């Protein structure tokens, strides 16, 4: 019926086909083709050679980055579907980040899957599909597009969280993630419907131009923020994260902790800076409360953990609080808007690298110890000095110790808070400072285990790190060190990637 109506409208000249810029859509098109190729290759590859599928997916993801370079060289902003889909410097920056993160996760997954007797073809297909959702999210400037992108990245993630099908913890992880995710999506979608009912618009620019201060608008904005608070595991919507992170395969835990969380923050940034910027009295106090609760609860709970995956899960919750903090002051003045945008973008970049690096080390150590306990790192330096140095680098960066990238990420968060200059911003800066000190204690516990404790079982055989896993580790380390040594280079890159209306 709709196609007949479309043909009738086209015949009368009242309807025009949407303009498609295939160059701008090239990364999405390549990822779609890669997903299809992976699915087809899986049908013809023998069970003993399933590792080829992950390799094909990794090559395809690398190829999808080529159009990003040509679009960046072109430099112009491209808009489609009446402003619902925008390809600008901002979207290119985060598409690049998502592709790098996805490629590193595929490197981490290669031997993990083959040695664990998991289904490799479907795994790579779902991971690439989820990455496609994140890439679409970076360009989405419309409520419908944002929601579709969010579900595109989330639904494969629900399945990947339960990939260890014969493991009860993995089953529990997938079930919790799915049920709570559905509730969060429902709340968010209802909030979006309220905003559309008030403004008559779904594009963020149209919403900004037609938004009113009616109570129903406040409810709509609050519900949308709460929906995304689940995606970024902000307190009190964080309950799914620790169990899901522990039960999911470790590469997927790394993926959920960084890539999907980064996609949630990208969507929040677009909503705040483009759609809801004029309604700061609604979202700034909400982000302030979320930031404080998330930092405090995440750090205090991480202190009590003995399992390193759960510790990193609560650490990622606390890190989300730091990323939320600049958004709580983003609309105070022009200076804080720019500072907040820089702080959030740089933190997402550094956090992705240092957290993926930490999880790659967890996989490497577990290959020998078959344990996720922090005690399994005891005496690591005596038989694996290189992995020890790598893990120390990632832990120091997560703690915000100079001269690594994590220090500059936190520095720009504090800069944004101090630029605001009001009492609430200063209080938030004090809370963030105290939590930075608390976080150092549990990161230091891992370093103490590696450097200062003896190896309890006396097994000093070296850890065998597969080339793909070692490459993931080294790529993350190079990125963390590069940001620490040349922070201005990356802040200038972030500043160039301003949001287009």
| DSSP string over 23-53 | TTTHHHHHHHHHHHHHHHHHHHS-GGGTHHH
**Distance, C-alpha 2 to centroid of its chain:** 37
Confidence of residue 8 (pLDDT cuts 50, 70, 90): very low
Residue 111 has pLDDT above 70, yes or no: yes
What are the Cα distances from residue 474, in Å, to 92, 195, 392?
Answer: 24, 45, 13
C-alpha distance across the termini of the chain, in Å: 34
Rounded to 10 degrees, what is the CA torsion of 348, 319, 163, 374?
130
Please state, in angstroms and rounded to a whole number, the distance separating the CA atoms of residues 425 and 62: 41
Per the listing, tokens 């998991």 go with: 118
Instruction: Decide if 399 contacts 390 (C-beta within 8 A).
Output: no
Which range, of 75-84, 129-138, 296-305, 444-453, averages the lowest pLDDT?
75-84
Q: What would the 3-class secondary structure string for 105-122 be?
A: HHHHHHHHHHHHCCCHHH
**pLDDT confidence of residue 443:** 92
Residue 333 makes CB contacts below 8 A (sequence gap 6+) with 419, 420
CA atoms within 13 Å, Cβ hemisphere of 444? 8
Confidence of residue 241 (pLDDT cuts 50, 70, 90): confident
* Model confidence at 386: pLDDT above 60: yes
Specify whether the CB–CB gap between 297 and 235 falls below 8 A.
yes
Contacts of 385 (CB under 8 A, 6+ apart): none
Which of the 8 DSSP states describes residue 78?
E
Mean pLDDT score of the chain: 85
Confidence of residue 428 (pLDDT cuts 50, 70, 90): very high
Specify the pLDDT at position 205.
87
How far apart are alpha carbons 398 and 381 in whole angstroms?
20
Task: Give the model's confidence band at 5: pLDDT under 50 very low, under 70 low, under 90 confident, else very high.
Answer: very low
The pair of structure tokens assigned to 256 is 């959920």
Question: How distant, in Å, are the alpha carbons of 58, 62, 121, 491 from that of 49?
Answer: 16, 21, 11, 43
What whole-number distance in Å separates Cα of residue 445 and Cα of residue 375?
10
| Helix 89-116 / helix 51-64 crossing angle, nearest 10 deg | 170
Q: Among 106, 141, 122, which Cα is nearest to 356's?
A: 106
351 vs 372 pLDDT, higher one: 351
For residue 16, the model assigns a pLDDT of 57
Q: How confident is the model at residue 13 (pLDDT cuts 50, 70, 90)?
A: low
pLDDT classification of 17: cutoffs 50, 70, 90: low
How many whole angstroms from its chain centre is CA 338? 21
Report pLDDT digits (tens) over 451-491.
888 777 766 777 888 888 889 999 999 999 999 898 888 88
If residue 79 lies in a helix (H) or strand (E), which one and from where to where? strand 78-80
- Residue in this structure with the two tokens 């404790």, named with its chain if needed: 453
Cβ neighbours for 72, distance < 8 A, ≥ 6 positions apart: 89, 92
What are the C-alpha distances in Å from 413 to residues 199, 212, 324, 398, 495?
33, 30, 9, 14, 15
Whole-angstrom Cα distance, residue 148 to residue 420? 35
Strands 78-80 and 85-87: antiparallel
Find where tokens 């419907």 sit. Answer: 193
Give the CA-trace dihedral at 178, 184, 187, 193, to 10 degrees: -90
Q: Which residue has the higher pLDDT, 415 or 17?
A: 415
Q: In Å, how far from its chain's centre is CA 258?
A: 4
Q: Report pLDDT for 7.
A: 41
Band of pLDDT at residue 114, cut at 50, 70 and 90: low
Q: Between the CA atoms of 450, 456, 459 and 465, what dihedral angle is there, to the nearest 10 degrees?
A: -30
Residues in contact with 431: Cβ distance below 8 Å, sequence separation at least 6, in sequence order: 291, 292, 295, 296
The predicted pLDDT at position 115 comes to: 66
- pLDDT for 3: 39
- pLDDT confidence tier of residue 336, bands split at 50, 70 and 90: confident
DSSP state of 257: I
The answer to whether 226 and 204 have CB atoms below 8 angstroms apart is no
Of the pLDDT bands very low, low, confident and very high (cuts 50, 70, 90), residue 501 is: low
Burial of 8: CB neighbours in 10 Å, binned 0-12, 13-18, 19+: exposed
């Amino acid at each position: 019926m709709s196609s007949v109506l479309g043909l009738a409208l086209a015949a009368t000249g009242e309807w025009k086909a949407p303009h498609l810029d295939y160059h701008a859509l090239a990364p999405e098109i390549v990822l779609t083709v890669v997903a299809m190729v992976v699915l087809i290759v899986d049908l013809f590859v023998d069970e003993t050679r399933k590792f080829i599928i992950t390799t094909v997916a990794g090559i395809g993801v690398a190829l999808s980055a080529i159009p990003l370079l040509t679009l960046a060289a072109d430099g112009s902003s491209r808009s489609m579907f009446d402003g619902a889909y925008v390809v600008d410097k901002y979207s290119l920056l985060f598409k690049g980040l998502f592709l790098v993160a996805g490629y590193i996760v595929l490197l981490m997954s290669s031997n993990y899957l083959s040695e664990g007797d998991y289904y490799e073809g479907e795994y790579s297909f779902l991971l690439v599909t989820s990455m496609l959702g994140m890439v679409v999210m970076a360009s989405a400037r419309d409520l419908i597009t944002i929601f579709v992108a969010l579900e595109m990245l989330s639904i494969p993630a629900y399945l990947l969280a339960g990939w260890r099908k014969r493991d009860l913890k993995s089953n529990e992880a997938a079930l919790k993630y799915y049920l709570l995710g559905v509730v969060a999506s429902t709340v968010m979608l209802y909030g979006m419907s309220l905003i559309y009912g008030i403004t008559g618009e779904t594009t963020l620019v149209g919403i900004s131009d037609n938004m009113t201060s009616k109570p129903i608008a406040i409810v709509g904005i609050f519900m949308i923020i709460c929906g995304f608070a689940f995606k970024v595991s902000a307190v009190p919507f964080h309950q799914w994260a620790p169990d899901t992170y522990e039960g999911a395969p470790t590469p997927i835990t790394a993926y959920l902790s960084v890539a999907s969380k980064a996609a949630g923050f990208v969507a929040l940034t677009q909503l705040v800076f483009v759609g809801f910027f004029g309604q700061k009295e609604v979202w700034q106090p909400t982000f302030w409360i979320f930031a404080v609760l998330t930092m405090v609860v995440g750090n205090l709970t991480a202190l009590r953990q003995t399992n390193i995956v759960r510790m990193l899960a609560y650490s990622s919750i606390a890190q989300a609080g730091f990323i939320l903090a600049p958004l709580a002051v983003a609309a105070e003045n022009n200076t804080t808007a720019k500072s907040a945008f820089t702080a959030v973008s740089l933190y997402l970049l550094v956090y992705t690298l240092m957290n993926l690096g930490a999880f790659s080390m967890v996989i490497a150590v577990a290959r020998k110890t078959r344990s996720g306990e922090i005690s399994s790192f005891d005496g690591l330096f005596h038989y694996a000095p290189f992995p020890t140095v790598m893990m120390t680098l990632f832990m120091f960066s997560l703690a915000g110790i100079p001269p690594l990238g994590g220090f500059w990420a936190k520095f720009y968060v504090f800069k944004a808070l101090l630029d605001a200059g009001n009492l609430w911003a200063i209080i938030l800066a004090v809370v963030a400072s105290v939590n930075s000190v608390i976080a150092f204690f549990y990161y230091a516990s891992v370093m103490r285990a590696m450097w200062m404790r003896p190896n309890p079982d006396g097994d000093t055989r070296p850890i065998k790190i597969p080339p793909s896993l070692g490459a993931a580790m080294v790529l993350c380390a190079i990125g963390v060190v590069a940001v620490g040594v040349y922070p201005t280079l990356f802040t200038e890159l972030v500043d160039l990637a301003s949001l287009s209306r």
